[in-house]
Amino acid sequence: MKEKLMRLQAELEEKLSRAATPDAVEELRVRYLGKKGQLTDILHSMGSLSPEERPVIGELANRVRGAITEAINQKKASFERALRQKKLEAETLDITAPSEQIPEGGRHPIALVQEEIERIFISMGFTVEDGPEIETDHYNFTALNTPADHPARDTQDTFYITDDVLLRTQTSPVQIRVMEKTRPPIRMICPGRVYRSDAVDATHSPMFHQIEGLVVDRGITMGDLKGTLDLFAQKMFGAQTKTRFRPHHFPFTEPSAEVDVSCFVCGGDGCSLCKKEGWIEILGAGMVHPNVLRGCGLDPEVYTGFAFGLGLERIVMARYGVNDMRYLYENDVRFLRQFA
């Protein structure tokens, strides 16, 4: 009986190896393991064995059944794998064919730079303020210590609505509005549009964007101005960035400075962006003029402060290599797409 079992197993394995279809395997399973299968027949005839033989043969029979079942299952699985593989191959796509386009969309490059600058100053505890673009002469000039006959007030530079109302030429009037309604400490920036009577060309626009900054408190020093703008420049243009403060003149700050940053393209070695200078002028700054503080009801003996202003277009153009300001206001999607 033992030999019968072993023969049976060998016979099945041989037939299984030749089975070419899932149906053939199923047929073998029925023939050997089914209710009327050959193994079942052998097990049925175990009653004729002696009590000593019965457990030995029984164990062997179970082993043979396990082995046969396993072999059949494996053969079946291999057929299924092959089938699935074939199906997947049939599903092959041309992966280089174009994808479905999702909508593009993007911010304007001026807005990108503005947001970045806002983020840097917000992280330093600055609030972001807003003010009117159509301003009074008082806020745009007088309160900013710009005397009545100052050339900046000239109609050649300023768009006037009436004698006393104009399009703001700078974001600085927001300084005054904030100082009038807020007591120090003040730390604020104000981004926005400003207007000057310049004809449109590659580097001029009658409308452009500035960001104004103001810090007023007890004990604010010119060193604090330098420290703040150094930090800004490093965050904006990279940790290696250096600043250079040059004396200058603005009516509403004293001392005043123009601030250059080391060229962020060449690192100061000289390139076409910085016109071989190694420096790019980006900011005007200074200590708030005592007359400005006094005008806002702040005692310059008690409070000091600094202010700064920068033009966004200049930074946008330098950063992205835009060589003509007109692109910024033409709103051509082929331009806008490059900043998305």
Footprint (CB under 8 A) of another protein, residues 172-191: 185, 187
Question: Cα 175–112–99 angle (5° rounding)?
Answer: 160
Site for another protein contains 42 (CB under 8 A): no
Closer residue to another protein (CB): 51 or 103: 103
Closer residue to another protein (CB): 66 or 132: 132
Residue type, 65: R
Q: Which of 136, 265, 267, 319 binds another protein (CB under 8 A)?
A: 136
CA-to-CA dists, residue 274 to 77, 180, 271, 278, 281, angstroms: 71, 39, 6, 6, 9
Site for another protein contains 39 (CB under 8 A): no
Asked if residues 24 and 82 have their Cβ atoms less than 8 Å apart, the reply is: no
Asked if residues 113 and 316 have their Cβ atoms less than 8 Å apart, the reply is: yes
> How far is residue 140's CA from residue 168's CA, in Å, rounded to a whole number?
6
Minimum distance from CB of 126 to another protein (Å)?
A: 5
How many residues make contact with another protein (CB under 8 A)? 88
Q: Which of 23, 41, 70, 164 binds another protein (CB under 8 A)?
A: 164
Within 313-332, which residues bind another protein (CB under 8 A)? Answer: 328-332
Site for another protein contains 308 (CB under 8 A): no
Within 114-133, which residues bind another protein (CB under 8 A)? Answer: 115, 118, 121-130, 132-133
Minimum distance from CB of 148 to another protein (Å)?
A: 7
Minimum distance from CB of 335 to another protein (Å)?
A: 9
Q: Which of 235, 291, 319, 320 binds another protein (CB under 8 A)?
A: 291
CB hemisphere CA count around 152 (13 angstroms): 17
Q: DSSP letter string over 32-83? A: HHSTTSHHHHHHHGGGGS-TTHHHHHHHHHHHHHHHHHHHHHHHHHHHHHHH
Within 224-263, which residues bind another protein (CB under 8 A)? Answer: 224, 226-228, 230-231, 244-249, 254-258
> How far is residue 255's CA from residue 111's CA, in Å, rounded to a whole number?
31
What would the two tokens of residue 204 be? 């001029």
Asked if residues 112 and 106 have their Cβ atoms less than 8 Å apart, the reply is: no
Minimum distance from CB of 96 to another protein (Å)?
A: 23
Minimum distance from CB of 331 to another protein (Å)?
A: 4
Site for another protein contains 201 (CB under 8 A): no
Closer residue to another protein (CB): 48 or 156: 156
Quick one: angle between helices 312-320 and 109-123, nearest 10?
110
Q: Which of 110, 179, 298, 325 binds another protein (CB under 8 A)?
A: 110
